[in-house]
Amino acid sequence: MRIITKSKRLYLREFVLEDAIHFFKMNLDEDVIKYTGDVAFKSEAEAALFLSKYREYKLYKMGRWAVCDKKNHAFLGWCGLKYHPEEDFVEVGYRFYRKYWGNGYATESSKAVIFYGFNTLNIKTIYARVVIQNLASQRIIEKCGLQFITTQKHHGMPSKLYKIENENIQIKRITPEDTHRVRHPVLRAGRPIEDCVFDGDHLETTLHLGLFLNKKLIGVATFLKNNHSCFKDEFQFQLRGMALLKEAQKKGFGNLLLKEGESLLTKENAQRLWFNAREIAISFYKKNAYQIVGESFKIPKVGLHYLMTKKIDQS
């Protein structure tokens, strides 16, 4: 049993197979699952099978977690963060036995997982979807600081979409000179600072993004308007100088920078993004749907690279 986080009265832990009885009994209550789009498990065995196949923790380092009372370790319900890969966003959600409603557990546990998501997982934005008729959950979500965005259908029901931003993380436009604070130690260590200046850095069409954690610049990426002869698209951008300080690596910040850049390029009506990727970064870019084109090649003083690219989604 792995404890994820704690609050004043509660602790949240990963699910275990013994929780199957609670999943079965809790979902039998029609009021509990009224607005969820779920149906009750047919048996405790079916609930156990669901838990045995639950892979969210391994896949995304997050998921739904059991909410337990600190005093008596009673299983009250669950609360957690769910990653939706098809929509690329993280959603907070919860479900409790009806007998525990009205005690503030949903609010307390949701605040705890949002804090965990922002400060441990470094998630930039967390969303929530609440069916319009579910006024109680709307009040809970608003108490947690989420702001209403729009209405949409979810599980076939009209719902409100909310979100909250991680104030510790900011991504914004920076100057070419600002990029040197990260480019130099990561990409050009031991070489003159002049080697951090790239062709096209000062063009008006070039976008320089900086990712700040607690106001410290920890990551940079440059998007240069530049066409590659391998591609026929008329409006292309090249990614250059993407880098994260050592303490910020392998924590999801690269994904945030890349997604923000892609979003800006969409607004610029760009058709394609391409770049020369270092060998060690290939797997990262492949996870973000970029593909290798052609054979590897060497860049003097830098090393082995691959040409990678993908179309920019204009939908």
pLDDT digits (tens, 9 = 90+) for 210-243: 999 999 999 999 999 999 999 998 899 999 999 9
Superfamily of domain 169-311 in the CATH hierarchy: Gcn5-related N-acetyltransferase (GNAT) (3.40.630.30)
Question: For 172, what's the count of Cα atoms within 13 Å in the CB-facing half-sphere?
Answer: 11
| CATH topology agreement for domains 3-165 and 169-311 | yes
Sequence letter at residue 290: Y
pTM of the model: 0.84
Model confidence at 59, pLDDT cuts 50, 70, 90, reads: very high
CA–CA distances in Å: residue 165 to residues 36, 93, 162, 181, 210: 24, 16, 11, 26, 17
pLDDT digits (tens, 9 = 90+) for 265-280: 999 999 999 999 988 8
Mean pLDDT (the chain, rounded): 95
Kindly state the average pLDDT of the residues 200-216: 96
Kindly state the average pLDDT of the residues 175-186: 96
Answer whether residue 88 shows pLDDT above 90.
Answer: no
Q: Are strands 3-6 and 169-173 parallel, antiparallel or unpaired?
A: unpaired
CA dist., res. 207 & res. 172, Å (int):
10
> Domain map of the chain by residue range?
3-165, 169-311
Neighbours of 155 (CB within 10 A): 11
Model confidence at 314, pLDDT cuts 50, 70, 90, reads: low
CA dist., res. 272 & res. 226, Å (int):
10
The predicted pLDDT at position 293 comes to 95
Model confidence at 313, pLDDT cuts 50, 70, 90, reads: confident
The residues pairing with 219 across neighbouring beta strands, listed in sequence order, are: 211, 244
Find the range with the poorest average confidence among 21-30, 66-75, 243-252. 243-252
Sequence letter at residue 273: L
Model confidence at 87, pLDDT cuts 50, 70, 90, reads: confident
Q: Please give the CATH architecture assigned to the domain spanning 3-165.
A: 3-Layer(aba) Sandwich (3.40)
Chain-centroid distance of CA 184 in Å reads 27
Kindly state the average pLDDT of the residues 93-120: 97
CA dist., res. 258 & res. 242, Å (int):
9
CA dist., res. 112 & res. 120, Å (int):
11
% of residues, the chain, pLDDT over 70: 99
Both tokens assigned to 174: 């920076």
Answer whether residue 315 shows pLDDT above 60.
Answer: no
Answer whether residue 84 shows pLDDT above 60.
Answer: yes
